[in-house]
Chains A and B, each alone.
Chain A
Amino acid sequence: MEFLSLLSPLFFLLVGVGVVIGIIFGAIPGMTATLAVAVCLPLTYGLDLTQGLALLLGLYVGGISGGLVPAILLNIPGTPSSITTTFDGYPMTLKGEGEKALRTGIISSLFGGLFSAVILFLFAPVLADWAIKFSYIEKFLIIFFALTVIASLSKSILLGIFSGVLGVWLSLIGTYDISVGGNGDTRLMLAFMEPYLENGFSLLPVLIGLFGLATILDEAEKGIQEDSSANRIDLSAQSRFSLKVFKGQIINLFRSASIGTFVGMLPGIGGSAASVLSYTQAKNFSRNPSRFGTGEPEGLIASEGSNNGLTGGALIPLLSLGIPGDSTTAVLVGAFTLQGIQVGPLFISENAATWNAMMVALLVGNLAMFAIMFFAIKYIVKVITVPKYLLYPIIVMMCVVGAYTINYGIMFDVWTLLIFGVFGWFAQKIGIEVAPLIIGFILGKSAEVYFVKSLESFGTLTIFFTKSPIAVFLWVLILASVFFSIYVAYKSARKAQ
């Protein structure tokens, strides 16, 4: 019960503040939970690990949940994971059921979030215990598996693989670190770059650039449009919400939350995939599939139940294997790095108090999200009207603080922010996917150490196939994901014909 001493009033306050800021970010179209976590990361510099995680987990839960507000009221998904919320949420608003839709979505989100937190609590320690037995070979194969999964579920398999490998390549720039058994020499750079890139690109400026500055550039390119329809929202004369809407939806709720949690566990797969999959399944199993898309609460429940299910699911591979489940948890890696903690199989056993505090933060975060959104929905709606011309300059300023302070004041990190901001904006144009790139970037250096050290020890490539039954099992998973991706590509090519 050591963790109880960590649960100070400040801890709960930080969760609440995180949820509120997260909801604001999620509710503003174009801004995501990932951006919220990236921008607010500097605030954790002055906090200890538990307090920092309380804030960031609050932001995560709030950011994912806030996306339903513009999705339902404006037909604009606040976050990519609320795409399917628009399908039935907005038609409900048009029918005068906006408030009912919002509250239905909020309760579904709460259920999805709590369900995934329970799965995280039960499953992550088991997976971590199993993963502790892994040698460098199995660890390398796990990373290889993660990259094949990312690629197989990307929009384009080829570009997905390319993005992941590019991320790995970028992570290798700099010194082959002596602390991990390297020879201390630099690589992948010209001599004049050595003073700046000796330690490679820092993770946080890269993340903040790709998710923060790139978003601003993307919006600037489109002219920073203000949505005037947001000012016309009025929930006062709408049909009231009743819990009866959930009658007969228990299976839908469980199925959607399970899909969200499972998809969250797969590295690099965004919430949009979870909500689309869940919505499609709800439609397939529904008695009234024809009503989907016309303002059917069943579709809304499926969408919101799954995208909040993602939160706990995405933390499972992060906390048990050290592999981020989505882009937001990739940013959370930065928070751990900042506090000198390495996430991986040993994290839970060596940081039991922090792990328990994280579970409390997730639980409280979901309850706070529910309380804030359910009872203050009329005020939350006003968030959509915050002008972007005030908000975006603040975001750029916070991005600068985040990048500059990560290494205690190195200006090159600020330039890294700009480089990756421009790169992130440009990458979307040419089809490079940011999530696989980031996961490749985070895992690249570890992959190198596991691969090279395994070969140095055993001297043969066959060891990757013959080391242990776990290695064989991982190869089966890798081949399964490769065949799955080929099957999906073949199926979609036939459909296109």
Chain B
Amino acid sequence: MHAFACIECHCRGCGVDMGERINSLFSIKINFAESHTFFPTIVTCVLFLLLLVIVLVHGIPFIRKLRQGGGKISIWAENFDKLRFWGTMLFTIFYFLSMDYVGALFPNMGFGFLIMSMPFMLALSLLYVHNFNRKKIVVIALNSIIAPSIAWYVLGNLFNISLP
């Protein structure tokens, strides 16, 4: 690690006594030009060391169990709802992209937020609802219009908060 350098002499038999030699073991001089990497290097090493221990303690027994057919690798919940999960991801990414794009067309107005939040909320609510009926759809549609409008008015206009 280039940031470390012993400040004591490195040679043997130069007359430095035992106590000083032990002290020199703990001595550290930090080069200011490299000081930004000093602590991150230590933390990164500790992180990798911990990762190694985790692999040894948890990983190896798990792989052994896997080989014996007793375990499985799956990060998904047992009743994983693909449609709702990936739908949420997709809508959210599209929401962020479109909000930025529309916001750039009307700078400092918060219209990117207002205009794109409405279809996003409508789509997400329709994605999440179980057992459709007319009443639910009307409530969802009203919620999708009213909630972003209130947020835009209160936060953007009353509180002067920057919105996309």
Contact = CB atoms under 8 A, between A and B. Distances in A.
Q: Do A and B come from one complex?
A: yes
Interface of A: 42-43, 45-46, 158-159, 161-162, 165-166, 168-169, 172, 175-176, 182-188, 213, 216-217, 220-224, 226, 387-390, 392-394, 396-398, 400-401, 404-405, 408-409, 411, 414-415, 418, 422, 426, 429-431, 444, 447-448, 451-452, 455-456, 459-462
Nearest to A182: B36
Main secondary structure of the interface of A (DSSP, over half): helix
Nearest to B144: A393
22 contacts: A158-B50, A162-B47, A165-B46, A165-B50, A172-B39, A176-B36, A185-B36, A187-B37, A220-B81, A224-B84, A389-B128, A393-B143, A396-B124, A404-B113, A405-B162, A409-B162, A448-B39, A455-B28, A456-B32, A459-B7, A460-B28, A462-B23
B28 A169 contact: no
B35 A176 contact: yes
B96 A397 contact: no
Contacts of A224: 81, 84, 128, 130
Contacts of B136: 387, 389
Interface string B84-107: 110111001101100110000000
Main SS of the interface on chain B? helix
Report, nearest first, the 8 A-B pairs whose CB atoms are least far apart.
A46-B159, A223-B81, A176-B36, A389-B128, A409-B162, A393-B121, A393-B124, A448-B39
Contacts of B140: 389-390
A195 B148 CA distance: 31
Contacts of B92: 213, 396, 418
Contacts of B151: 397-398, 401
Contacts of B129: 387, 389
B39 A452 contact: yes
A447 B85 CA distance: 38
B113 A459 contact: no
Contact of A390 (B27, B77, B143): B143
Given A159-B54, A220-B81, A183 B139 contact: no
Contacts of B143: 390, 393-394
A404 B164 contact: yes
B63 interface: no
Contact of A162 (B28, B54, B75, B128): B54
Interface residues of B, number: 68
A258 to B, nearest CB: 34
A488 B128 CA distance: 43
B160 interface: yes
B51 A187 contact: no
Contacts of B44: 169, 188
Contacts of B16: none
A93 to B, nearest CB: 25
B85 to A, nearest CB: 5
A172 B126 CA distance: 41
Given A168-B43, A217-B88, A221-B77, A405 B163 contact: yes
A53 to B, nearest CB: 17
A42 B84 contact: no
A55 to B, nearest CB: 12
B164 A411 contact: yes
B23 A169 contact: no
A397 B121 contact: yes
A424 to B, nearest CB: 13
B148 A397 contact: yes
B158 interface: yes
A457 to B, nearest CB: 10
B19 to A, nearest CB: 11
Contact of A46 (B88, B144, B161): B161
A414 B164 contact: yes
Contact of A169 (B43, B85, B128): B43
A226 B131 CA distance: 11
A183 B33 CA distance: 7
Nearest to A166: B47
B136 to A, nearest CB: 8
Contacts of A414: 96, 99-100, 164
A441 B72 CA distance: 32
B1 interface: no
B35 A220 contact: no
A216 B88 contact: yes
A397 B28 contact: no
A389 B27 CA distance: 60
Given A222-B77, A414-B164, A393 B120 contact: yes
Given A224-B128, A409-B163, 15 more contacts: A46-B159, A165-B46, A175-B36, A187-B36, A220-B87, A220-B88, A222-B80, A222-B81, A396-B124, A404-B163, A405-B163, A447-B39, A455-B30, A456-B35, A461-B28
Contacts of A217: 85, 88-89
B161 A405 contact: yes
A187 B40 contact: yes
B163 A401 contact: yes
A186 B36 contact: yes
A161 B89 CA distance: 30
Nearest to A430: B75
A220 B84 contact: yes
B128 A392 contact: yes
Contacts of A186: 36
Nearest to B100: A411
B7 A158 contact: no
Given A400-B113, A401-B161, A452-B35, A418 B128 contact: no
B43 A165 contact: yes
A394 B93 contact: no
B26 A461 contact: yes
B43 A183 contact: no
Contacts of A187: 36-37, 40
Contact of B50 (A162, A188, A223, A404): A162
Interface in B43-96: 43-44, 46-47, 50-51, 53-54, 57-58, 75-77, 79-81, 84-85, 87-89, 92-93, 95-96
